[in-house]
Amino acid sequence: MKYTREDIERIVDEEDIEFIRLQFTDIFGKLKNVAITRANLEKALDNRFLFDGTYVDGFDSNEENEMFLVPDLDTFNIFPWRPQHGKVARLICDVKTTDGKLLEGSPRQVLKRVIEDAAKQGYTCDVGPECEFFLFQTDDMGRPTTESAEDGGYMDLGHSDRGENVRRDMVFALEDMGFDIESSYHEKGRGQHEIDFKYKDALGAADDIMTFKLAVKNIAKKHGLLATFMPKPVQGVVGSGMHINLSLRKDGDDIFYDESDPNGLSSIGYSFMAGILDHVKGMALITNPTVNSYKRLAGGNYVPHYVSYATKGKGSVVRVPYFKSSDNARVELKSADCLCNPYLAIAVLLAAGLDGINRGADCTRYMADKAFDELPMTLADAIREFQKDEFVREIVGDTISNGYIIQKSIEADEFRRYVSQWELDMYLTR
């Protein structure tokens, strides 16, 4: 929805909104915010609200730490799960330095830059995410567990799906915030769920993913549950991913659909897909950024880990979904998970796809029955692939690239040194 400054000031007064959260995202996809009162709204709307970015990952600078939060007025929204007296609203913000420059380490700015580059070539991209999550019990102290009281399976309902009422409240809250919910259902794992919402432009989709995760976690908490987007929280149980569907238009016309192709995909669509597959190993650090991400990807033939595309194959990283018209022509990345930073993930996917189009990249070698290369199988492997892929590093920029390499190397090294329960069970009494 489009808002003017006057619209926001009027709604804040009419709706008795007392707090406005100025939100932004660090380089690793963690949502940050500064809460201001109604009295300081004018200052925020004037782009005069300063904050100290010293301790925000990717925002620290040796030269300058004070930065401005610049609200995107069209992201104004009211949190439906907060009290109705003295309501809470939010504005998603871009970040500028005090000399007026957009911050290089701002992930939202990285995506906006890729979108602008695409627009110069006449392209617009729509993105439809599919976010999976688990609902777990909390203990008497409110601490999270990995226990679930339900026994539902894939698309079960009624007595089996005890999370149905929680999911229902999530859908209502998301609809109150303007989401167009397409479906919600129980997923394969015990306590695992999925809520799908309609595709949007690339920036709007990334904003929506961040909002979706915030809403799901808050509604679950109101029910005394933990909602987690951790890719593989339980040993031996299917993991959670975030499938990313991408469609492309040029000068307003769909360019992915070709009715003469067996899969319905145009030659441009195949080149777009080839561009992604050319760099999918290098971007794994962005799309799958944690040690736990690779526990999910190591789950067997039904988990996307082959650098290939297919229409039905479970093991391919990219899928060409069934479609019969230009209305839903798209390609789908299946390997990403919800712990990624959606701004960076969508940015590298779009940039790589467009690079494939511009090069006329050939997708033939990535057919599922011909391609046997695999994604990185550990976080350390993903770091090495990222370091080798100059294209992906250039898209996210030096600040973010260096931040990922340094921080994720620390995580990988800590995990390498960690003595797990599995090791104790296997070797302690030998």
Residues 355 and 241 occupy one common structural domain:
yes
Q: Is this prediction's pTM over 0.75?
A: yes
Q: Between 162 and 61, name the one with better pLDDT.
A: 162
Residues 120, 97 within the same domain: no
Q: Is 136 left (phi over 0), alpha (psi -120 to 50) or beta?
A: beta
Please state the rounded mean pLDDT for residues 252-257. Answer: 92
Does residue 423 sit within a domain?
Answer: no
Task: Quick: pLDDT tens for 303-326.
Answer: 899 999 998 878 999 999 888 777
240 and 341 assigned to the same domain: yes
| DSSP string covering 285-332 | HHHS-STTHHHHHTS-TTSS-EEEEESS-SSEEEE----SSGGG--EE
| Chain segment 28-42, per-residue pLDDT in tens | 999 999 999 999 999
Strands 200-201 and 77-78: unpaired
Q: Which two tokens stand for residue 418?
A: 């960690």
Tokens standing for residue 333: 């990345």
**How far is 95 from 74, CA to CA, in rounded Å?**
16
pLDDT tens-place string over residues 289-301 = 999 999 999 977 6
The two structure tokens encoding residue 89: 């609203």
Q: Which of 53, 69, 103 is the last residue of a domain?
A: 103
Question: Which DSSP letter does residue 52 get?
Answer: E
pLDDT, position 73: 97
Cα gap 276→347, rounded to integer Å: 11
Domain co-membership, 56 together with 170: no
Return mean pLDDT, the chain: 92
Are both 168 and 65 inside the same structural domain?
A: no
Per-residue model confidence as pLDDT tens digits over 369-413: 877 799 999 999 999 999 999 999 999 999 999 999 999 999 999
Closest Cα partner for 302 from 195, 424, 154, 137?
154
pLDDT confidence of residue 51: 85
Residue 183 domain boundaries: 113-416
Residue 80: the pLDDT is 95
Element of type H or E holding 106? none
Q: For residue 331, what pLDDT is reported?
A: 96
Structural domain ending residue among the three candidates 103, 135, 169: 103
- Residues 156, 232, single domain; the answer is yes
122, 81: one domain = no
Give the end of a domain, one of 70, 103, 136. 103
Mean pLDDT of all residues in 403-428: 96
Domain tally for the chain? Answer: 2
Cβ proximity of 40 and 51 under 8 Å: no
Q: Is 26's pLDDT higher than 80? A: yes
pLDDT score, position 7? 96
What is the C-alpha separation between 405 and 2, in angstroms, rounded?
A: 38
Strands 17-25, 87-97: pairing is: parallel
Average pLDDT value for residue range 96-115: 91
Residues 94 and 141 reside in one and the same domain: no
> 3-state class of 371 per DSSP?
coil
Tell me what pLDDT residue 189 has: 87
Same domain, 384 and 405: yes
Same domain (yes/no): 92, 118: no
**Do both 19 and 152 map to the same domain?**
no
Residue located via tokens 């029910």:
223
Write out pLDDT tens, residues 50-84. 888 777 877 765 555 788 999 999 999 999 998 88
64: domain CATH number is 3.10.20.70
- The verdict on residue 225 lying in a domain is yes
Q: Is the same domain home to 91 and 125?
A: no
pLDDT of residue 64: 58
